[in-house]
Amino acid sequence: MDKTELITITIDSELKAQVEDLIKPMGISIEELINHFFHWCIYDTEKAIAYLKADQEAQAGQA
């Protein structure tokens, strides 16, 4: 059985506009992007964690 749950996310309007500009050529909405991100985190957990850790370390290195 497929369960659907509603998640509310608050995002800065300027950041949202920037993301929408980036994904517009892909033909997906920001809601679809967020949905894909959650699926990626759930179904490809090892890659998602490795990517997010690497990104976190890169950001810490820039600080």
Rounded to whole angstroms, how far apart are CA atoms 41 and 34?
11
Name the more confident of 2 and 50.
Answer: 50
pTM of full prediction above 0.85: no
Closest CA to 11 of 34, 45, 38, 43: 34
Rounded alpha-carbon distances, angstroms, from residue 47 to 9, 41, 43, 54, 56: 23, 8, 9, 11, 14
pLDDT digits (tens, 9 = 90+) for 35-63: 888 888 888 888 888 988 998 888 888 87
Contact between 30 and 23 under an 8 Å Cβ cutoff? The reply is yes
